[in-house]
A and B are shown apart, each in its own frame.
Chain A
């Protein structure tokens, strides 16, 4: 099935092939000129990579290295709202929330629309309380408030006090280093180095790499004694790659991802014969704002406010969705908001200030022109050119739904907004989806082993965790469910490597 090529000497011959075609190269370990050797080799410094490093160190690994392509650590993991869905934690019990791993799996299966992996979801959900404790042991601090995210039947999105993934990444990075984990920036993973039988021996890395300067730095060969974990994240920032998979996601569609989310790790594993799964399932975030770049501040604001706020179409002055439906449902409906000429006419999220002000996100969106305050319905209608009567009626209807605890219009779960009426003054943010997450990737099993396409068997000593893996979530991932899954499979990969 595969073309086998073997190089007596690596280095120069491999280097000349260039970055366009990550090559598959086979060798015997004693034929490769190794520049470095480590017990555990991790590519990527996001949630999956750091969790793996911490777990491997706890299990006694003495020589762990993390290679990060960018000049800064954390990749895409540091750019989000810092939420993680865990079921059955002490904080949920304290707040009187009943939940279970099983319920979390069921919610995710529903959103996965028949494509999610029940086995992988269950593995991740069951590790949830362990991950929750691991992060706390690393020094991550959670808020007392648990967030409601779309598509969940129990309140379970635990959030760090920074309200950003940075609140996980920095304490975990510090903890990893305290265990002696070596962390290196500007080291770009080029390709795997494998033996003739497919066993992964190590990786080739571009050391001294500067992002988007593909020839910068120099190539080195790194030997991995126990295995290689690819934790390189998704490909949302790679426009040509994502557009090939989903023609709707061209240049004009924004993206919340870190600039490094280009799919290098995925492509290198595909080159090695890994099984691709669900690559076309690319998720857009329905909480994004078109009035700033990337993830920004708007996402945090809408995440907090969706349960007790309404999203309004500017042509009709009416709601058009359940504001806490799953991400795909909402993003698909949001991009349909158009003016008469078919140009984007982003919907408005209208939140009551009396509730919005309880979260620090409000100050940020107001200050940086991502949302605006209005003291009456009339003022909103005038500013955004909405039909006033329809909007007034909608707000009155909504407040009736709050009162009766039921949303006959879109079936929103109303126990999240009990007693929170939509009254002036209002905070208004525009909504337009941005590419956020790749459900697809290469196939893994519950040991975080990468599966070969040709025979369905694990590729020896190759592990993957996090967004680079695919098939876990199916068609649409629920909010706050990637972070714990990245960490769960990072931990799992570390356990597998240390057992092998």
Chain B
């Protein structure tokens, strides 16, 4: 019995986790949800979307312009950084169903106030 109790707890918690996963979403992506999970999950529902999935709607060079910084800070543009240029895939920093932080924050105390 002692063994079974934690097992049950594990099953319940993972069930909760999986529903939370499906629910956790950005409101402004509602139209994408309306058109179905496969809109992004182009490699099957159990797999991560491909790195081109987000780019069906988003354009990296446009994003780079939107997040451009001036002068010395220009290299801190997360969409066109000194380390990775415009090549960092969206999912390195952003998660639709998972909370993430920008990869830059592994080493730097940058402030990206609009990050999500």
For A216, list chain B residues within 8 Å (CB). 47-48
Q: Restricting to A355-396, which residues have a CB under 8 Å from any CB of B?
A: 360, 363, 368-370
Interface of B is mostly: loop
CB contact under 8 A between A297 and B72, given known A71-B51, A164-B82, A170-B85? no
Verify B51–A293 contact, CB threshold 8 A. Answer: no
Verify B103–A72 contact, CB threshold 8 A. Answer: yes
Shortest C-beta distance, B40 to chain A (Å), equals 14
Number of A-B contacts (CB under 8 A): 70
Chain A minimum-CB-distance residue to B48: A210
Chain A minimum-CB-distance residue to B110: A368
Chain A minimum-CB-distance residue to B111: A368
The CA-CA distance from A74 to B85 in the complex, in Å, is 12
Verify A293–B48 contact, CB threshold 8 A. Answer: no
For A166, list chain B residues within 8 Å (CB). 82-84
For A259, list chain B residues within 8 Å (CB). 106
Q: Restricting to A395-427, which residues have a CB under 8 Å from any CB of B?
A: none
Chain B minimum-CB-distance residue to A294: B107
A306 at the B interface (CB under 8 A) = no
Q: Restricting to B69-91, which residues have a CB under 8 Å from any CB of A?
A: 72, 75, 82-85, 87-89, 91
A162 at the B interface (CB under 8 A) = yes
Q: Restricting to A64-82, which residues have a CB under 8 Å from any CB of B?
A: 70-74, 78-79
Verify B106–A210 contact, CB threshold 8 A. Answer: no
Shortest C-beta distance, B57 to chain A (Å), equals 19
B43 at the A interface (CB under 8 A) = yes
For B88, list chain A residues within 8 Å (CB). 71-72
Shortest C-beta distance, B19 to chain A (Å), equals 20
8 Å CB contact of A369 from B47, B82, B109: B109
B92 at the A interface (CB under 8 A) = yes
Q: List 19 A-B contacts (CB under 8 A).
A: A71-B51, A71-B89, A72-B89, A73-B84, A78-B84, A79-B83, A79-B107, A164-B83, A170-B85, A186-B51, A208-B43, A208-B47, A208-B48, A294-B106, A294-B107, A295-B107, A296-B108, A297-B108, A360-B72
**Chain A residues within CB distance 8 Å of chain B:** 70-74, 78-79, 162, 164, 166, 169-170, 185-186, 208, 210, 213, 216-217, 256, 258-259, 291-297, 360, 363, 368-370
Known: A293-B106, A296-B108. 18 other contacts (CB 8 A): A71-B91, A71-B92, A73-B84, A162-B75, A162-B82, A164-B83, A166-B82, A186-B51, A208-B43, A208-B50, A292-B107, A292-B109, A293-B108, A293-B109, A294-B107, A296-B109, A363-B72, A369-B109
**Chain B residues within CB distance 8 Å of chain A:** 43, 47-48, 50-51, 72, 75, 82-85, 87-89, 91-92, 103, 105-110
